[in-house]
Amino acid sequence: MKHLLLYCRPGFEKEAAAEIQDRAGQFGCPGFARTKDDSGFVIYECFQPDDADLMARKLLFRELIFARQMVVVYAEVKDLPLDDRITPLLAAAEGMELCGDIRVETPDTNDGKELSRFCRKFTVPMRQALRGKGLLTRNESHTKPVLHLFFMANNHAILGYSYTFNNSPFHMGIPRLRFPADAPSRSSLKLEEAFHVFIPRYEWDMRLTSGLRAVDLGAAPGGWTYQLVSRGMMVTAIDNGPMAQTLMDTGQVKHYREDGFTWRPARKNTYWLVCDMVEKPARVVATMAAWLVDEDCQEAMFNLKLPMKKRYGEAVHNLQQLKDKLAELGGFEVQAKQLYHDREEITVHVYRPHKVAKLQPKE
């Protein structure tokens, strides 16, 4: 029986489980989500043998909010001898379809971090051994599935695979980003990660490029504004607090000490609306939806802070409210993810694919 393995932020196993339980049910793949608090993953045990593979191909990964990665479990191997883990892992991989790449990973926990050095070192010999057995293509292939070896302890691993057209392209489902030394706040990485996760790289020169105008609500001290400015955009920053002088010195930022929930631009020339105001999700959703429906911006990226309890239910409820409000104008696509840099929150991205299709790349 194949199962699905979902990576998530430690502490959010219940949310990831509730979500996969819901989505698999709607999808017609009954099963049961198994969780352990703070483990950083969830296993969805399918009642039908082919359902895990079906979900890995057809249940859109980008629509899952709390899953960082979605892997079909092929085998779970316990009691691996520490002097030779490769032989039993190769035996377990027998019969698996040809994969094009390997990722040796761990849960995103403190125990997992202790294994990460071993995982890095283990990747090369394991890759060679899999190639020797014909289980991995000679050269990396992006059209074949990715083989995942998910180590929960140094002698215990799950062997599985994900499909490149429906997975996270990042190791452990986490884009590796370096904090820019001159960014005014660590939250800067949240917006940068959102760009990596939500905007395809080949569209960056149309959607994240100089010449575009952006509005940043709740901008101070400027971590998000920094991301927009460093991509050449002109930014209107709304916040009662002060913006970093380094950003003001670029000449690309106008700062207004106004209320982000009521301020609106005089002209309809804003491409990006970003918002990091700490407020009730319903209020943020209402504001974002109003901007989008009034066409005061073309794309929006914002956070929804989750409450302490019923986090999954609240996330789903607020996203549905947003979709209902956007239906007034139509043609919107809403994506939401709990990113690596999100703690008690999720990041939401809204855009209109047919409008993006009309954008011209910058010369």
Ligand X SMILES: C[S@@+](CC[C@H](N)C(=O)[O-])C[C@H]1O[C@@H](n2cnc3c(N)ncnc32)[C@H](O)[C@@H]1O
Residue 82 or 181 with smaller CB distance to ligand X: 181
Residue 70 or 247 with smaller CB distance to ligand X: 247
Active site residue 305: yes
Stretch that binds ligand X, among 148-156, 160-168, 275-283, 350-358 (CB under 6 A): 275-283
222 is in an annotated binding site: yes
188 is in an annotated binding site: no
The rounded distance, in Å, linking the Cα atoms of 181 and 306 is 29
347 binds ligand X (CB under 6 A): no
105 binds ligand X (CB under 6 A): no
Residue 241 or 331 with smaller CB distance to ligand X: 241
- Residues within window 145-184 making contact with ligand X, judged by CB under 6 A: 184
Q: How many CA atoms lie within 13 A of 293 on its CB side?
A: 15
Residue of 39, 106, 168, 188 that binds ligand X (CB under 6 A): 188
Q: Tokens representing 309?
A: 């309890």
Report the residue closest to ligand X, judged by CB. 223
Residue of 75, 131, 261, 282 that binds ligand X (CB under 6 A): 261
* CB of residue 145 to ligand X, shortest distance in Å: 37
Stretch that binds ligand X, among 12-20, 39-47, 276-284, 321-329 (CB under 6 A): 276-284
Stretch that binds ligand X, among 60-68, 130-138, 254-262, 293-301 (CB under 6 A): 254-262
The rounded distance, in Å, linking the Cα atoms of 2 and 172 is 20
Residue 219 or 292 with smaller CB distance to ligand X: 219
Q: Which of 305, 323, 337, 358 is catalytic?
A: 305
Stretch that binds ligand X, among 39-47, 173-181, 202-210, 258-266 (CB under 6 A): 258-266
287 binds ligand X (CB under 6 A): no
- Residues within window 197-236 making contact with ligand X, judged by CB under 6 A: 218-224
Q: What are the binding residues for S-adenosyl-L-methionine?
A: 187, 220-223, 239, 259, 276
- Per CB under 6 A, residues contacting ligand X are 184-185, 187-188, 218-224, 238-241, 259-261, 276-278
Active site residues: 305
